[in-house]
Amino acid sequence: MAEPKPKAAPKAAKKAAPRKSVNAANLAHLGPEALAALLIEVADGHASIKRRLKLALLGEVGAADLAAEIDKRIDAIAGSGARINWRKFKDFVRDLDAHRAAAGGKLGELDPDIAVPVLVRLVRVSEDLEGRIKDPKGELAAVFDQAVADVARLSPKALTLDSRYLADSLLAFVTEASTKLSVDLLRAAAPALAGDAVTVLRAKVRERLAAQRRPDPRLRAAAQVLADLEGDVEGFAALFTESQQVLPPIGAQIARRHLAVGQVAQALAALDRSAPGASLAEQADPGAVAWSQARIAALEASGEALEAQAMRWAGFKATLSVEGLRAFLKGLPDFEDVEAEDQALAYAQTYPDPFKALAFLTAWPSAAGAARLVMERGPALHGDRPDVLEPAARLLEHRYPLAATVLLRAMVDDVVRFGRADRYCDANRWLLEAESLVPSLPDEAAIDDHAVWARRVAGYRRL
């Protein structure tokens, strides 16, 4: 009789992880009383923390009290002429963004009619900070941009606010501001301007423009926003001089507005007046691209589908736009799109700008086409464009390691030859990636042996 097997020792109970990490879950175990006491202790002597706590508390009291607290902080910032040095910059931006978040978040939930004017006031404080604070990384500007986005989100929900007061506030900002932020704010707040507020505001803007010998660009941009709100295409176009209306991007703007109200003939006329030049460089200009897109939309609206397709193809040849080619292929009958795609990829190989061609083939994506371009036009692909070469190398490294190696070496060579210190870390990584591809290279690769190339790179003594 077989002896019974000894029983396995019971597994030790798994210990719960110690609650040492400072995170929300662990802090919750302290309980509300302990947390409240801790917050009071931490906030003692820190005005910004106290303000954050007060905002949270007033959010539970009501919209009017919360708005009054945010307004008080805006008044304090606007009324102070003191400069804000770099030591206080982070805390200031964090505090301002906390008030922005409270206005766009909790206050917006409680009462959009109160929240929108408060956010408008907060954005206007950007003018009071002009010259008092340096914002090299755009962190402060990002707070105001987000506040404008909050206004755009809440304005359609603000149905009973004082439109005249809001309109006057927006006009004052457009008149006083030194940046385009004022026009962005006007566009964002426009849905909240009810009744005849837009008409009255537009009349005031026209009056100010008429009094100026040289129209203020922001005031004119504001007039264009207001013309759009009233659907006045002719009024919008009249804000441009005749010499401006012949520019492709301006003609495209006017045409788009004619199309929006069903005026196809007028749209085509505006585009005819502003046609770009015929050269490849002129057609690839962003303004010319906008004109072409508007022209295609106008041709589609007029039933000229074949002409629209011809323009799409011409536009692709000028710009190598991925979106443009996809739109062209979508408009083709079944089975014709494959042949057209092959033709487009072949055309990319001959495009004058090899970087633009490689970027297109990478984005499409066509690994075979990108590899062919690299091997045929490699010397023209200098390593000072890692924004193009590195994504292409990623695409090629598995199926076309030789082409990927050519790109990686080009980027490393550029860094060491010209001492681009900001890319030293990237160059070390590219060098290791090139080394990892060595086993995949063909025996008769038409490039230097990796060891020879690596010694040459090391000779620069930069990495």
Residue range 158-181: mean pLDDT, rounded: 88
pLDDT at 247: 93
- Is the per-residue pLDDT at 45 higher than 70? no
Q: Is 217 helix (H, G, I), strand (E, B) or coil?
A: helix
For the cut 90, the answer to whether the pLDDT of residue 194 exceeds it is no
Cα 256 off chain centre by: 23
Average pLDDT, whole number, for the chain?
88
Question: Under DSSP, is residue 74 helix (H, G, I), strand (E, B) or coil?
Answer: helix
The per-residue pLDDT for 29 is 74
Residue pair 381/354 in contact (Cβ under 8 Å)? The answer is yes
Q: Answer whether 0.85 is exceeded by the pTM.
A: no
Q: Stretch 147-151: mean pLDDT, rounded?
A: 96
pLDDT digits (tens, 9 = 90+) for 368-389: 999 999 999 989 999 999 999 9
Per-residue pLDDT tens over the stretch 54-63: 777 777 888 9
What would the mean pLDDT of 158-184 be, rounded to a whole number?
Answer: 88
Q: Who has greater pLDDT, 137 or 28? A: 137
Handedness of CA 313, 314, 320, 323 (dihedral sign): negative
**Percentage of the chain modeled with pLDDT above 90:** 57
* 220-273 pLDDT, tens digit each: 989 999 998 888 999 999 988 889 999 999 999 999 999 999 999 999 999 999
Phi, psi values for residue 6, rounded to 5°: -65, 145
Q: Which of 332, 327, 363 is nearest to 348 (CA)?
A: 363
What is the pLDDT at residue 1? 47
Residue of 161, 148, 168, 222 whose CA lies nearest to 195: 161
Residues facing residue 133 across a β-bridge = 84
The residue ranking higher by pLDDT, 180 or 133, is: 133
Q: What is the mean pLDDT of residues 131-135?
A: 89
Residue predicted with more confidence, 315 or 31 = 315
